[in-house]
Structure formats: C-alpha cells, structure tokens
Chains A and B, each alone.
Chain A
C-alpha cells in the first residue's frame, strides 16, 4: 500500500473581487462579486513508503494547498486522499500522531520562551515517553548542532537556528510522514546546506516518507530522486530530476574555446549565440543536431577546448512554467466554464 494516495483532489476558493477605490469599497459593503479560484485542480498522486519527493512549482501553483489538504488543515472541494490509510481532514488523533508539517514561513514555537519549553509541551501533547523523549531530543539537537541554544528564547535565535528548532519540534514524536513547506526559505547557503544534510541523513536512517516543497533547486537536487511539478493546480511532470531536462528542454549548451584568438565571426549559423568572451563562446544548439554542429565546428575552426552541457535546471523549469502558464491561459479562455465564471451575491 502506498503511504500517500491522492485521487481527483480538488480545492477551490471563493474569492472576493475587491475593486479599486473608495466608492467601490463602499458599494462592496452591499454587493460583492466573487470569483472561484481553483488552487488544486483534481490531482492524482501515489507516494510509496520511504520516498523523498519534491514538489516544484511557481508561487500559487497549489503546492502548499496540497500539503495543507494532506495534513488535514483544510478539506477538499472534491476528491479523495489517504495518508497511511487515514483520511487527513477527518483529523483523527491517531493520524495526527503519525505526521508532521513544517512551514518555513511560520513558526509554532513559543516566541518568548526557550525552545526546550515548547519541546516539553510537545512531549505532553503527543504523550511521548520521557526517556524516549530525552533520547530523541538529544539526537536531533546534536545532529542539527543546536544543543547550546536550547535555553535561549526563540525570539533571540537567528532564522537558521530557529528553523532547526522548528524541525526538532516537528520530529520529536518520530512521525512516519513529514511534510516540509519551503524549510530553507530565507536561509543563507551554509544554513541551507546544513538543513539539507540533516534531512538527507534523517530520511535515510528512518526511511520515513517526505514531501518537500522548495524554490531552491539545490535542495531538490541534494535530496529527492523523484520530482513532481505542479503548476496552476495540475501535475505537469512526475519523474526524475534529470528527466525534466530531457523532457522539457530541446537544447544543449555548447561552449567552445578557439585557438590563438581566432574567433570566427559567423558563429550564429551553428546556433543561438548566448555569450562571447574571447576566446570563448557559448552557443545554444538544438539537441537533435548537436553531433552535426560539433563536427562542422571542429572541421572548420581550430578549437582548443569544447564542452557540451544541459542547460541549467532553473532555466528549463522557468521555461516550462512560462509554457504551462500560456497553456492554462488558453484553456481558460477556450472554456469559460462555471468554475471560472464570476458569480454574484449580495
């Protein structure tokens, strides 16, 4: 049985269309226009026990909404989901004991108290056995290297330190499923790296199931073998990270270094010129014709060094998001169905 099973999950919100200006605000008191917005549009997904899956997508794609549905914070408009055999939005205690949600943008620790007091509270709420609690806490704070900060009020911690405390709090009850919503947001490179290292180690040891959303490709590349791309509430891709490039980018990047400063002037005939810093040039070449182009370049010019690379992942994904945005706009214009239409009520 899969750890997470999602079938046709949809969540739409009714949003008040506020118009600009004072007069519009006043009339808005009596007569309001609402619009239905689909945050998640009927997704299907299976995640196996022990998988570490990344959720990628632009802002507003529906990633966080999906995590909130799976943790039972909100209920779906239609559709089904089961996590470890539980329906999340039924909010059974037996389910809530088995998972944790960490949100990089929000904190759940008591702001004015040292983190250890919040941990103690978690022990009571989750009813963790005292010796078990001490052992887990010690292990976590040692792995995250924050033991010396346990007695310091949370408001006096740096963002990175606070995130580590948030992670500790979330893992004290040894959840089987962990939802991470941008856990490294706003952190510097070193702190990001530390958290990645910790998550990787923890997941490998415990074999827990993790769903992660992040905007940092480095997080994803370091942690997840499987990537699910969600945009405008739909799943656009589900597969390996490397597969994204194969699937969505028809190009390769060719870097050439010419001998003796003999930079040819007609490089454009080989492909799109991205950058020239003599004696080097970087070209964008169609994937299908890379061999042909390469042999032509080598035959016609004196080349000292050459490299062929995939374009950077960020670029491919940005391209893909732009493409899906166009498609979704088209499909929205094509069928102005009730879900998107403006409804009125007073």
Chain B
C-alpha cells in the first residue's frame, strides 16, 4: 500500500449543530459512540493513509486530547487555524507540513475505505457523490471523467453529482490556494482554487463514491447513527444478568452491566461501564456512551445518549440527542410526535426549519439537569448547563445556562 498523507479540516464550530457544539467542535460529535472524525481517521487508516494532519481551531483542545500524537497506528499532526476563514484558508495554514501528494477532507462528513482507496490512486481527483437534491450542495459538472466546474447551490443543477469535500491534491494546488480571492460567501474556498486550476489546464478526475454521510443539522446525526448501526455485529463484553432479553445486533462494551428485566432490541450500542436496567426498554438505533445509567422503567428509542449521562427512573427518550453529563429527574420525558402528526419544525440560528421528520424529539446540550416530571416538547433545543425545574414544560430554543421553572 502506498504511504499517504491526509489533511482533515476540523477547525469549525458547526454553528448549525448548536447546542451540541457549544462545548465541542462539530467533528467531535459522536455517532455510533465515536466522534465523526474518528470514523474518518479509522477509514483513512484502512485505506493506507499513514499520516494525518488535523487543522484545528474551535475548541481545539478536545480534538488534541482525544487523538494525541498517534491514533490507531497513524501519526497525527496538528495545525492551528486561528480564524475559520474557509477551506482554502484552512489548507493554507497547513502549507508548511504538506507532502508532495495528499488527500484533503472535510472533517464533518464520513467517507469509507473502498472509496478512499479509489482516491488515493488518483494524483489529482475530487470525490463526487450522487444525490437526489443536488441544489442544496456544490454541484460538480464532469466532462470526459474530469471535473469541469463546481457550482455552489445552483438553482438548476446540470448534474446530480455533488462535491463530497474529499480531494486528492498535489502540492501544485497551493499556487492556486494562495491566490484564491474571497468568495461571495465571504470565505476563501478551495473549490475556487480548483476552478482556477482547471481554467489553467489542470485536470481533476471526478471519482464517484458509493457512500457519504454528511451531517448538516442535529437530526442528521440520527440518520447517520442509523446508517452506521445498520451493519452492527453483536459483541457482548459486559455482564448480562438473568432474565435480560436481547434481540438483534447489540454491542455491550466492557465494564457495563445489563440488569435483570431489561429488554434490548438491536441495533443498539452500549459503551463502557454503563449500568442498564433493571426493567428498561431500549429500542433500535440507540447509541449509549460510556458511564451512562439507564434505569428502571425507562424507554429509549432511536437516540444518541452521550457519556456520563444518567436517565435513571421512569423516563421516555425518543428520536433525541442528549449531551454528556446530563441528569434527568424521575419522570422527565421527551415528546417525539406532534398531536397533529405533522412534521416537526425547529428554530436554528433564528430560522424556522422543517426537519422533514414526523418523529423527532429534542436536542439537549451537555450538563443539563431536569427535575421530576419535567416535560420536554418536540423540537426543543436545550443549551448546555441548563436547569429545568420539577414539572416544567420546555419547548423551543433554550439558551445555555438558563434556569427554567
């Protein structure tokens, strides 16, 4: 296998992923119990990449601490992008460590081993991916197998192929990156560098990839979670008490204890040192992080529960994302279906957005504590470090550090 370097852009906050990104960068959001970036790094390692350069910025310490100087046998180097001024700017801040050939990837989308291997083979190439709604992405036009243009969010897309944000570059690209002007979106974008290079006679092979998991909004995490759990294979390293029912594919990591009367339907992944049950019901497509407690008479369905969170008594969590280190009072429940059964809308950065989902619960930041019988309505976005008093009803966007009674 050919030795290869990969540069991963991991510096952005991902403001559309708030409140989850108030306390971590977007690339560290966990899906199937691993940060998005970890999935990417593992897949790159399998594809033969032996050195990874992480361009970090927003809450960079969380990335540095998690991956260290070496991860899964791959050397990790860091480069700091002080301000996030675009993808070309990010690449420029890594210029001093670049090899003659390298891959460049956005750290917030997951691509897989086989597709990456195709890219590693190309000297200059761009991963393209076919989608039904290309107008929402950068659309790639291909002539004779080479990229001829990349157009951001065109009204009438001429192709269904979009830019997956994964590139194979030679160092010559830097001549264009350095001279890339600021775009109409106010950023220095590597797609503009590519367009300049193409008009100068450079050829970039359009490499069509089979799988691409992009996470734009918090509810996309649930879809990604579902996709990554779909091929799960059971592995029980924890302890299972008598009278526990496990159906389908379930991972229980070491140190975890599943207590009597628990009923688990896979695919479900349960991290290390969790206490599950007794008498709880965990339904498909649920990821539970390390050191969690899911207690008596609790039902969890199609949700991501991050580490150190306690959901201990008489709770219902459906189609939701719960941050780290939360503690739910007895009887706190999250609604996940409107009474009129319409699609759930949420408020993101001041705009009302339709999730397209009929069943969607809440997104809850880190360190949230709720009192007994607190009720959380569909589509609620609750900031980190929020206290919700007993019996309170919460809906809409709740700013971090709020107190709700």
Is this pair of chains taken from one and the same complex?
no
